């Protein structure tokens, strides 16, 4: 089954800025805590470095076949460490939501199906994690009841897509509603956002402050290709900057935490 047939709608969500200081979790070598699961900075770096190394090698090989020499910037994938954290945290939360509903997640989407549009070699762990994430999204989208559609939530999705260049910028609410049709994928996005947000609150999520606002990876099929992007956490009222209520880090502590986590 082709990947674009597996992805009928955008699945978007995100977690607001969560501080390691929120619940006493402050190990500088930890990228994120999701309940009793810990993701180390070393693992984030390993996944990121794997993407960069294999992407660069693939570009070199392709350029070599054409008799060209790629510029240094062409050897760098657009994937960031933030993208890696987004994926790890979202997968863990989504799996917990699925387990709580006794949902079985089939293994259908392969890294090879995503390689061209994701622009990451299929042999990377990052591509494999994306395949796992899309499998999970398919199941959750089928089981979570669609949320109400509001102008704010619809525009939150639109602006996230606008940043990728996948949709024309500067559209009005009326124009976006026309472009999005019945808005089914926005309803699904909002429902997923709510479910992941509730799970994050339940299990206690903390993210190292070096990783800014944590967004849940998202993908939508245009019919010809896949668009990968991330969206600020949304609910029926639109974007939410912070789904937790952590105590803010003291101004003197934030730079130190960021520096020691690198």
Between helix 125-143 and helix 81-100 the angle, nearest 10°, is 40
pLDDT of 47 reads 98
pLDDT of 183 reads 82
Q: What angle do CA 114, 234, 83 make, to 5 degrees?
A: 35
Q: What is the DSSP string of 56-117?
A: HHHHHHHHHHTT----GGGGS-S--HHHHHHHHHHHHHHHHHHHHTT--------HHHHHHH
pLDDT tens-digit readout, 56-100: 999 999 999 999 999 999 999 999 999 999 899 999 999 999 999
Question: How confident is residue 234, by pLDDT bands cut at 50, 70 and 90?
Answer: low
Question: How confident is residue 187, by pLDDT bands cut at 50, 70 and 90?
Answer: confident
Which residues on neighbouring strands pair with residue 239, listed in sequence order?
234
pLDDT tens-digit readout, 6-39: 333 444 444 544 444 444 566 889 999 999 999 9
Q: What is the mean pLDDT of the chain?
A: 80
Question: Rounded mean pLDDT of 44-59?
Answer: 97
pLDDT of 258 reads 35
Q: How is the chain split into domains, by residue range?
A: 3-260
Weakest mean pLDDT among 102-111, 184-193, 241-250: 241-250
Weakest mean pLDDT among 101-105, 220-224, 253-257: 253-257
User: With 70 as the cut, is the pLDDT of residue 256 above it?
Assistant: no
Q: Is the CB of residue 6 less than 8 Å from the CB of residue 225?
A: no
Between CA 177 and CA 171 the distance in angstroms is 10
Question: Rounded mean pLDDT of 120-125?
Answer: 97
Q: Identify which has the larger pLDDT, 64 or 252.
A: 64
pLDDT of 231 reads 65
Q: Is the CB of residue 147 less than 8 Å from the CB of residue 191?
A: yes
Q: What angle do CA 261, 250, 207 make, to 5 degrees?
A: 40
Model-wide pTM > 0.85: no
Question: How confident is residue 43, by pLDDT bands cut at 50, 70 and 90?
Answer: very high
């Amino acid at each position: 089954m082709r990947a674009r047939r597996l992805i009928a709608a955008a699945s978007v969500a995100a977690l607001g800025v969560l501080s390691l200081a929120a619940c006493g979790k402050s190990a500088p070598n930890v990228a994120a805590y999701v309940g009793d699961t810990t993701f180390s900075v070393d693992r984030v770096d390993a996944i990121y470095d794997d993407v960069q190394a294999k992407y660069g090698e693939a570009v070199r090989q392709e350029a070599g076949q054409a008799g060209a020499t790629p510029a240094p910037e062409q050897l760098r994938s657009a994937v960031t460490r933030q993208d890696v954290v987004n994926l790890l945290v979202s997968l863990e939360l989504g799996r917990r939501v699925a387990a709580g509903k006794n949902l079985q997640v089939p293994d259908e989407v392969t890294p090879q199906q995503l390689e061209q549009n994701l622009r990451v070699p299929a042999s990377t762990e990052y591509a494999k994690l994306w395949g796992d994430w899309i499998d999970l999204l398919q199941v959750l989208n089928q089981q979570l009841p669609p949320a109400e559609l509001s102008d704010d939530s619809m525009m939150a999705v639109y602006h996230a897509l606008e940043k990728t260049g996948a949709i024309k910028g500067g559209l009005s609410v009326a124009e976006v509603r026309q472009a999005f049709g019945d808005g089914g994928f926005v309803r699904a996005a909002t429902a997923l956002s709510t479910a992941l947000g509730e799970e994050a609150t339940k299990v206690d999520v903390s993210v190292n402050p070096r990783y800014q606002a944590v967004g849940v990876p998202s993908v939508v099929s245009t019919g010809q290709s896949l668009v990968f992007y991330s969206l600020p956490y949304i609910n029926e009222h639109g974007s939410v900057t912070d789904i937790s209520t952590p105590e803010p880090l003291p101004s003197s502590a934030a730079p130190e935490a960021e520096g020691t986590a690198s």
